[in-house]
């Protein structure tokens, strides 16, 4: 738990986002059939889906997005972490227009982010700060001789100055982002582990549902704790109940 929360200080989001949309489910399955089956099973317990590289490689990425948006009336976060030469990123972002996608992710330096922002239209661009699967040792191994929180803050500050709509950040750093950069941007926090055993996978910088939101996250991304649960719908509903208690 963060020191701010221990002191009774929180950064609970005041943005006009319905509580049920604040949970984004990571639809990380290998095939479109698996994805549709899981969406049907979750029903109205989930209204916002993150679709990443695994389904992109299935060959059915955009047909699945169209089904989610047009037929199921769900929101979609295209988590493709675009990282390439700026012109390629600009062209790729342009291809996402008119597909009903709400968020997408971009990873890279200023010129890459600028190219994405230039072409975003109604799409919201989220800059990746530091992956939640990385800890301080990993950052140092990559050659960054800096505290991980300072790195997240530096990347977020540059991203927002360029015109990104928000950032992907662990809930561990969310409170520092709010204190330093204010409330006029989105924080989406993955690495949510709403169970006691947080050593279940490769995520290293994790928080639970309440801590993420009290530290300033606008949305949380949850994958495995729902997907591998004996009853995924019940697991999602339990998280939704926790969110509603915070925001209502």
Which are the catalytic amino acids?
81
3-state secondary structure 102-171: CEEEECCCHHHHHHHHHCCCCCEEEEECCCCCCCHHHHHHCCCCCCHHHHHHHHHHHHHHHCCCEEECCH
- Please state, in angstroms and rounded to a whole number, the distance separating the CA atoms of residues 175 and 247: 17
Q: What share of the chain is helix, strand, coil (3-state, %, to 5)?
A: 45, 15, 40
């Amino acid at each position: 738990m963060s020191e701010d929360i221990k002191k009774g200080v929180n950064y609970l989001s005041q943005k006009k986002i319905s509580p049920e949309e604040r949970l984004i489910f990571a639809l990380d399955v290998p095939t479109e059939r698996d994805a549709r089956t899981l969406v049907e099973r979750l029903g109205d317990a989930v209204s916002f889906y993150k679709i990443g590289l695994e389904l992109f490689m299935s060959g059915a990425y955009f047909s699945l997005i169209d089904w989610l948006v047009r037929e199921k009336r769900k929101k979609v976060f295209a988590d493709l972490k675009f990282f390439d030469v700026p012109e390629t990123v600009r062209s790729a972002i342009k291809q996402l227009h008119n597909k009903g996608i709400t968020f997408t992710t971009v990873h890279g330096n200023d010129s890459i982010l600028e190219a994405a922002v230039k072409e975003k239209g109604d799409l919201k661009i989220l800059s990746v700060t530091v992956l939640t699967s990385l800890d301080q040792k990993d950052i140092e191994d990559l050659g960054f001789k800096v505290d991980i929180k300072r790195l997240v803050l530096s990347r977020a500050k540059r991203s927002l100055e360029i015109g990104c709509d928000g950032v992907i950040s662990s809930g561990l750093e969310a409170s520092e982002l709010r204190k330093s950069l204010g409330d006029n941007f989105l924080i989406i926090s993955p690495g949510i582990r709403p169970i006691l055993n947080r050593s279940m996978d490769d995520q290293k910088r994790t928080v639970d549902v309440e801590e993420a939101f009290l530290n300033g996250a606008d949305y949380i991304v949850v994958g495995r704790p729902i997907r591998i649960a004996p009853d995924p719908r019940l697991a999602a509903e339990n998280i939704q109940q926790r969110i509603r208690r915070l925001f209502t």
